Amino acid sequence: MEILIGLIEDDAMLRENIETFLGMSPEIRVGFSVSSIEQLLKDKRNFAEEPYLVFTDIGLPGISGIEGISIIRKAFPNTHLVMISGSCSEELIWQAVKAGANGYLLKPLSLKKLLDQIEIIKNNGALISPEVASMLFAKISQQPPEKKIPTEDLLTKREHDVMDYLLKGLSYKEIANILNISYSTVNDHVKKIYTKLGINSKGELLALFIH
């Protein structure tokens, strides 16, 4: 099945390299490749199809990548959004997660790993650079008890287990292997978790535990 991907990156050389590399895969098609949110909005052809995944730089000229999340979400509600940044700033990471980003990758990007990283997204994993993941999960664990979400009365023990692994960035497949359950069972648990907590995405789940 073909995967449609969008790129928003103001570094022309990096954008061209990513576009060329992804274009070599028969399973991937680049739907749009632009240098800014403004350029994305300018050409209506960019909205002809909803991309499965959009890589967007944070430090864009004009409208920033983080500001652009809500714009992209409005146009493409089901798209996976992965932020690209040269900064491991806690503030930027929290802003991106709370705004609804599905992942956060640090530059320089490894083109060799890019296809594997896209596969992680396809398997419902969180696409996060190791440095960012360490910072994110440390932040969650350091939350004082009074600020943590009281989920004990809302979720079952198994749902708690699934949620904990989701917060650690594991994919549905990895969670299924660890808990010795099927992929579809993990998917069912996640749907129930989201419904009980009144959320719709992993980004919102992470945001619940970050204050």
Q: What is the 3-state secondary structure (H, E, C) of the chain?
A: CCEEEEEECCCHHHHHHHHHHHHCCCCEEEEEEECCHHHHHHCHHHHCCCCCEEEEECCCCCCCHHHHHHHHHHHCCCCEEEEEECCCCHHHHHHHHHHCCCEEEECCCCHHHHHHHHHHHHCCCCEECHHHHHHHHHHHHCCCHHHCCCCCCCCCHHHHHHHHHHHCCCCHHHHHHHHCCCHHHHHHHHHHHHHHHCCCCHHHHHHHCCC
Q: Which residues pair with 77 in a beta bridge?
A: none
Mean pLDDT by 10 residues, the chain (211 residues): 91 91 89 94 90 92 91 88 82 79 82 81 69 65 54 83 81 88 89 84 70 52
pTM of the model: 0.71
Phi, psi of 71 (to 5 degrees): -65, -45
Residue of 203, 196, 206, 193 whose CA lies nearest to 162:
193
- pLDDT score recorded for residue 5: 94
- pLDDT score recorded for residue 115: 83
- pLDDT score recorded for residue 179: 92
Contact 192/158 with Cβ under 8 angstroms?
no
| Cα–Cα dist 21/28, whole Å | 10
What one-letter code names the amino acid at 205?
A: L
CA atoms within 13 A on the CB side of 91: 0
- pLDDT score recorded for residue 121: 76
Largest CA distance in the chain: 51
What one-letter code names the amino acid at 68?
A: G
- pLDDT score recorded for residue 130: 64
